[in-house]
Structure 1
Amino acid sequence: MPSRLALSAVLLAVSAALLGGCGGAPPASPATSATPAHPASAATPALPDISVPANLDDVIASVNARSGSTVPDGPDRRVLGADASWPQCPKGMGIPQKQSKGSPMPTDDAEFVVLGLTNGPSFTPNPCLADQVAWARSRSLLASAYAVVSWPSPTTLAQVKDAGPYDGGTHLGALHNAGYAAAAYSVKTMRAAGLDSPAVWVDVEPVPDFDWSSSTADNAAVVEGTARGYRDAGLEVGYYSVGSLWKRVVGAHTTGGVPEWRAAGETSMATALARCAPSWSYGGGPGVLAQWVEDGRDRDVTCPGQGGRLGRWFIPLKP
C-alpha cells in the first residue's frame, strides 16, 4: 500500500481530474456511458453535480484519517440488517435513468444498514445519502457503505485514465485508473454525507442503461482498480454480487479471497443464509452477509461466524 503522502498525492490528482480546475466549486460528474442493457433509451443527458465541502483538501485528508469509533468484537450471533440507496429517496430524485422511487426504508428490527453511495452507475452520487445517514444516526444503527461500479464512457475514460497508480498509457492501465477514480469519487461522496464507514462493498452486476463491455477481462480491470482505490483509502473491501451476474460481468475472475455479500433475491432468510456456504462463492472469498428481498425491502443477515466481528465492516452511528 502506498504511503499516506503518496496516497494523498494520488487522490489530489484524482480530484483535479474530476474537478477540472474549478477550485472550490462542486465537481461535475464525468460523462457516463448510456448503452442500453435492457430497453432502448435516449442518450444520457448531463449528469448532476456532486455536493461536496468547499475544503476539498480536508476531505481528501480525511480519507487517510478515519476518526469514527469502532464496534468491538464479541460472541458470534445472527444479526439482522438491511440496505438502502437511491430507490429509497423521495420520488423523482437523481439522474433521469435512475429516478428514485420512494421505496420504504428498513424495518425497526434492523440492527445495521448498508447505504448505497451511487445513484446507479459510478460517478453519480446517491441524491439523498446525507438524509439516509441522518436517518440511521437517529436510530443508532450500525452503518456501512456499498457502491455500484460501472463501465466508463469514452469521455470519462479520457478524463481519468491517468488519475491513479496504473500506467494510463496502456489500455488495461487506463481502465484500472477509471475504477480507481470512481472509488475516490465515492469516498468523497461518503465523507461529504457524514458517513465514516470502515469499509465499502463493491457492487458488481449489470447496470441497466449503463452497459458493461463485452470483454470480461476489461471489465475486471475496472473492478480491480475500484477495489484498490478503496484499499488505498484505508478501507476494507468486500464484493456484492451473485454468481450468474458476477460471471456475466467479469467471467471467471477471482479475487484472492475478498469477502462476499451474497444476494438471494425474493426468497427468505433461510435461503439467504444457505448462500453463506462456500459453494455459493463467486469470487473465491468467504460469505460475510447475505441478502434477500421481502415485502419490497432488501433484508440482510450476517453469515455464521461473522456476527461477532462487525467492527471490520460497520461504524456505530449515534444521535
Structure 2
Amino acid sequence: MSTRNPAVSRWHFRVVLAAAAAAVLAFAALPAEAATAPGPGNDVSWPQCGKALPKGQTFGIVGVNNGLANTTNPCLGTQLTWAGTSKGGTGQPLVALYVNTANPGAAGSWWPSSNTYGGTTVANPYGECTAGSYGPACSYMYGYAKAYDDATIRGVSNPASYLWWLDVETGNSWSQGTLANRADLEGMAAYFASIGARAGLYSTRSQWDQIVGTVPSSSNLYTLPSWLAGARSLAGAKRGCADAALTGGGKVTVTQYVSGGFDFDHSCI
C-alpha cells in the first residue's frame, strides 16, 4: 500500500508544472537575437579567384573590379553564384556588390573632358567639365563614368536590383584635394541613384577622413549607410556597430573583420 500523502503529491505536481511554465516563458522572453543568432556574412573578390569560398554565409558581398576602378573581377560570375547561396536571417540583402573607387586625375588611363558620358549629358552640380581640368567638375564625371561602367560592362545583370558599396581606400589613386575626391564619389552615387540602385560607403574612419573629409548635409553621400572595416574579431565588429558613421547623416549597417584568411561581415541591422 502507498504511504504517499495525496495532498503532498498534488503540491509537488503543481510546483513542477509551475517551474516548467516559467522555463517556457523565460525562453520566450529571450531577445530575438539570442533565439536566432544569425551568423556573419562574407565578402569576396578577385583575391579569392580559384580558391574555396566560405560556406554557410548569411549574406555575400562581391567585388566587381579586379583591384582597380577600371577593371573587371574575372571571377565575378562564379562569385555571384556563390553569394546567391546565402542563408539570410539579417537585415542585409542576400547579395550585394562593392566597387573600387579612385580619382586619378592626370595619372589615369582615361579622364573626362565634358559632362557627357554613355550618351547622357549629366547634370553636374560642380559645373562644366572641360579638357585638362582635374577639379571637382571632372572628378564628378569620372566617378559617374566608373559607376556607369560597373553597371553596364562588367557583367552584372539587373544592376538596379543591387546595393552597391563604394570601396574607399588609400591604396588607390586620389586627388590631394578632398573636395574633388568627394565629388568623384558623389558622381558614382548619382549614377547608381539614376538607375534606381542603392549605394553605401565602405572605409575606415582614418582613410575616409584622409581621402574625403567631412561631408556636408547637401551632399548625396550624407545619408548613405556605412560599412566599417578594421575590426579584428567578431566581438570588435559587434562593438563597431555603435561607432559613428562615415557621414553625419548615415548609419553603420555592416562591420567587417578578418578571420582564417576570409573577410567576415557582421550585420548591425
Q: TM-score with structure 2 length normalisation?
A: 0.71
Q: Please list every run of at least 4 consecutive aligned residues from structure 1 whose deviation after the TM superposition is greater than 6 angstroms.
A: none
Go from structure 1 to structure 2 and tell me whether the alpha carbon gap of 1:259 and 1:138 turns closer, same or farther (over 3 Å shift): closer
Q: CA deviation at 1:233?
A: 1.5
1:133 match: 80
Contact persistence 1:83–1:113 (CA under 8 A): yes
SS in 2 for 1:264: strand
1:250 match: 212
Cα offsets for 1:101-131 (capped at 9, x unmatched): x4x422x231110001111221211111011
1:168 match: 129
1:32 match: none
Q: How does 1:213-252 map to 2 (within 5 A)?
A: 213-252=175-214
CA distance in structure 1 between the partners assigned to 2:37 and 2:116 by the alignment: 44
RMSD: 2.4
1:37 match: none
Is residue 144 of structure 1 aligned with residue 96 of structure 2?
yes
Deviates more, 1:288-297 or 1:163-172: 163-172
1:294 match: 259
SS in 2 for 1:226: helix
Give the structure, 1 or 2, with the largest relative contact order (CA under 8 Å, sep 6 or more). 1
CA distance in structure 1 between the partners assigned to 2:37 and 2:183 by the alignment: 35
Is residue 261 of structure 1 aligned with residue 265 of structure 2?
no
Contact persistence 2:169–2:208 (CA under 8 A): yes
Contact persistence 1:201–1:240 (CA under 8 A): yes
Contact persistence 1:264–1:275 (CA under 8 A): no
Q: CA deviation at 1:220?
A: 1.0
Q: CA deviation at 1:137?
A: 3.4
Q: TM-score with structure 1 length normalisation?
A: 0.61
Contact persistence 1:114–1:146 (CA under 8 A): yes
CA distance in structure 1 between the partners assigned to 2:129 and 2:84 by the alignment: 40
Q: CA deviation at 1:81?
A: 0.6
Deviates more, 1:220-229 or 1:131-140: 131-140
1:13 match: none
CA distance in structure 1 between the partners assigned to 2:83 and 2:247 by the alignment: 30
Q: CA deviation at 1:252?
A: 2.1
Q: CA deviation at 1:136?
A: 2.9
CA distance in structure 1 between the partners assigned to 2:241 and 2:153 by the alignment: 30
Bigger Rg, structure 1 or 2:
2
Q: How does 1:27-176 map to 2 (within 5 A)?
A: 79=38, 80-90=40-50, 102=51, 104-106=52-54, 108-137=55-84, 142-154=94-106, 155-158=109-112, 162-163=116-117, 164-166=122-124, 167-169=128-130, 171-176=135-140
SS in 1 for 2:241: coil
1:212 match: 174
Contact persistence 1:133–1:195 (CA under 8 A): no
Contact persistence 1:165–1:177 (CA under 8 A): no
